Amino acid sequence: MAVRTRRRLAAAALAAAVSIGLTACTSTSGGSGGTQQPLKKEDLVLVASVINTTNPYMASMIEGSKALSEKLGIPLKIVDSQGSSQTEISQIQSILAQGKKVVLMVNTVASSDAPPIVNAVKAAGGYVVIWWNKPDNLEPWNVGNNFVAFQKYSGVESGQCNGKSIGDALGPAGGGVIMLPGVQDSTTSQTRVAGFKDALKAYPSVKVLEERPANWDQQKGFQETQTMLAKYGDQVKAIWAADDAMMLGAIEAVKQANRPDIKFASDGIYPPTIDYIKQGVPIVGETFHRGYMAASIGLFTAYQAATGALDVSKMPQEQRDSLFKLACVSPQNYQDYTKYDSNIPGWVDTLIANGPFKTEPTPLVGQGPEKLPS
């Protein structure tokens, strides 16, 4: 018995020593950061991590990643987080363990996912750009060159754009507005809500009747709108949603309640929104930004860092915690922007030619983190 125990102990000690040794190895090889050699194209794999694969925005991100992968001639892997931080992190870790150098774009499920992902990528010597969510105090320049950048569109600006459109459309008479935010603890939703309310300050006759979070979900947008119309009836003059999916649900509910006077504004100008505009549904304001643009800008930034085309240590801070341009569009001018949708590979060509920070219609415009209006 005693011998056996001792053997077991020895084996355990050996295993521990080996694993410590291994960790030490990986951390020395990967942690060198600034002195890391540029990577060869054939050693790279592009990875795009999305929150799910059913949301149209996520589908668009996948489309953009595929287009870039084809143009660059580098294989692409898609990580489907299925709405779960755990799934997201473990899938990314297993891809990192497969050996190829990873060029990663992550649309994080929650802000708190960013630190573990960034650290894992750093340890494996890959390059990562994070989209949409990260904690404000996690800055790429504090982590090192492997965390190339954080990128997003301004939520405040999106909300302000919508608020102004609705305020103008309701005119001096004003009226009541129903707000449909997304999931309540989402920063994207919170910033858009703050921007919307901020813009409404200039329109004292416009009153927010109620805020009903509709969880980015079309069905929920439909149901909440139904209930709100029953509660406020004719007081409702306009409905705002934090993204188009929820607005599409609201439009359906309003149609069925036979209230063609109710005006809408939201974020994203999805293809079905365009159809509704053409049918004459009073969608008075929209913002244009695209998943395919976001994903390919993110992947291309990480790719240029990996190949040495971008020297990460010399990038200005606004290129590493970045806000990209969001277009505030109206029913009159939206076609100037939606024209890009019909030729995504063509747009990716201009991205590759101009670099990630100067490609129209969405060049870099400012530095994060985003500040909420007071």
Interacting residue ranges for another protein, rule: CB under 8 A: 53-54, 56, 59, 62-63, 184, 210-213, 217-220, 222-224, 226-231, 233, 248-249, 252, 255-257, 270-272, 275
Q: Which is nearer to another protein, 214 or 312 (CB)?
A: 214
**54 or 317, CB closer to another protein?**
54
183 CB burial (10 A radius; 0-12, 13-18, 19+): middle
Query: Would you call 65 helix, strand, or coil by DSSP?
Result: helix
Give me the least distance between CB of 70 and another protein, in Å please.
14
- The DSSP line for 276-339 is HHHHT--EEEEEE--HHHHHHHHHHHHHHHHHTSS-GGGS-GGGTEEEE--EEE-TTTTHHHHG
- Cβ-based nearer residue to another protein, 23 or 256: 256
Nearer to another protein, 27 or 227 (CB): 227
**Between residues 148 and 239, which has the closer beta carbon with respect to another protein?**
239
Shortest spacing between CB 71 and another protein, in angstroms: 18
> In the complex, what is the shortest distance from the CB of residue 353 to another protein, in angstroms, rounded to a whole number?
26
Closest alpha carbon to 206 in 268, 164, 147, 156: 164
Question: What per-residue string of b and e applies to 223-262 under the rule 16 or more CB within 10 Å gives b?
Answer: bbbbebbeeeeeebbbbbbbbbbbbbbbbbbbeeeeeeeb
Q: How far apart are CA 68 and CA 61, in angstroms?
A: 11
Q: At what angle do helices 187-200 and 155-170 cross, to 10 degrees?
A: 40
Distance CA 170, CA 173 (A): 7
Least spacing, CB of residue 347 vs another protein, in Å = 17
Nearer to another protein, 39 or 58 (CB): 58
The residue among 344 and 364 lying less far from another protein, judged by its C-beta, is 344
Q: How far is the CB of 295 from another protein (least distance, A)?
A: 12
